[in-house]
A = this chain, B = another copy of it.
Amino acid sequence: MSANIDVRVREVGLRDGLQLIAGFFPTAEKLAWIRAEAAAGVPEIEVTSYVPPKLIPQFVDAAEVTRGALGIQGLTVVALIPNLKGAERGFSLGVHKLNFVMSVSRTHNLKNVRREREESVADLRRIVELRNALPEGARPLVAAGLSTALGCSFEGRQSVDEVRRWAAELAASGVGEIVVADTVGYGDPAQVRAVFKAVMAEIGPIPVAAHFHDTRGTGLANVAAALDCGVRRFDASLAGLGGCPFAPGATGNIVMDDLCFMLDSMGLSTGVDLGKLVAVRAVLERNLAGAELHGAFARAGLPRNYRSAAERMHS
C-alpha cells in the first residue's frame, strides 16, 4: 500500500455490477471505465470474473479486459474466481490478484458455486498450493471472500461463530487477504463490529477487507463501524452499481464516490481525486441508459472551503 494512502478502496462494479446488467457492456467501454478510474487514483479494480461465459455472458471478454487492465501503470488488477479452473485462467493471464469466493451460508454456497463449503475450502487449498509453486514474480496474491457473512437471503443472519469458523478455514489455506462480504445488505453497525472483531482476532495478521451493499441504507454506517475495528480496505462500485442474482431487492454495492468523499472528509487519504472520480460516471451514463445510478456526493459536490485529507496532512 502506498505510504500516502490510509485506506485502500477497490472498485468492484465491473464484476459485481455488470454481472446483473441485461445487455453486454462493450469491452472497449469496460476498459475506458477502468482506465479513467485508475487515472482518478483508484489503486485496485476487480475487472472481471473467470466464470464460464455460458453462465455469465457479460464476462466472455475476461481475457481481453484483463490484458488491457494489466497495461495500466500502477493499477492492481483483480479478478473473481469461483474455483480452480478460474485460478488457472488467472495464472496464465498474469493477473495481480485472485478473489476466490465462498459463502458462509451453506445454501448460498450451493446455489452460487454449486458445492459444499468444505469443497470450496479444499479447492482453495489447491489453488494456493499451485500459486505457491509458480515462479517468484508470477505469483498472484490470492484473496478469499466470505460471502453472506452478515446474512443470507435464504438462511437469514449467520452466527458470529459460524463466520469466524470459515474465516479460520480461509486463513489456514494460506490466503493473503480475507474479504468479509455483506452480499445482500443485511448488516448494521453493531453487527459489523461484532463480526469484524471476531474475524480479525481469529485470523491475526492477514489483512481484512470489507465488502458492503447499501441495500437498506446502512452501507456507509457499516464502513464507519468497520473503520473503528481497524479495517482499511473497502470494496465499492461507482454509482453503486451491483447486487446479487440470488438476492432479490439487493440494490447495489456501496457508492464508490460517496465512500471516497466520506473517507477523505474524515482525514483518511485514499489517493483518489474526487472530481476525477465523479467524472467517470459519464462512462456508465452513456452505456447504461435507463439504469439507476446512485450517489449523493455526485449531486451535491464538495462542501464550501473543503480541504482534502491530503491538504490537511500537508498544512
Contact = CB atoms under 8 A, between A and B. Distances in A.
Interface in A102-120: none
Contacts of A151: 303-304
Contacts of A19: none
Contacts of A227: 189
Interface in A172-197: 184-186, 188-191
B156 A304 contact: yes
Interface residues of A, number: 46
A216 B249 contact: no
Given A217-B296, A249-B299, A296-B215, A265 B304 contact: no
Contacts of A261: 216-218
Contacts of A297: 216-217
Contact of A304 (B154, B191, B306): B154
A300 B265 contact: no
Dominant secondary structure of chain A at its interface with chain B: loop
Counting chain B CB atoms within 10 Å of each CB, the highest count among A154, A220, A250 belongs to A220
Contact of A300 (B190, B191, B249, B306): B249
Interface in A281-299: 295-297, 299
Nearest to A188: B265
Interface of A: 151-157, 184-186, 188-191, 214-218, 220-221, 223-225, 227-228, 249-251, 255, 258, 261-262, 265-267, 295-297, 299-301, 303-306
Given A154-B304, A156-B304, A249-B299, 5 more contacts: A214-B296, A215-B296, A217-B295, A218-B262, A251-B296
27 contacts: A151-B304, A154-B304, A156-B303, A156-B305, A156-B306, A157-B305, A185-B296, A190-B266, A214-B296, A215-B300, A216-B261, A216-B265, A216-B296, A217-B220, A217-B295, A217-B296, A217-B297, A218-B220, A218-B258, A218-B261, A218-B262, A218-B265, A221-B262, A228-B228, A249-B299, A249-B300, A251-B296
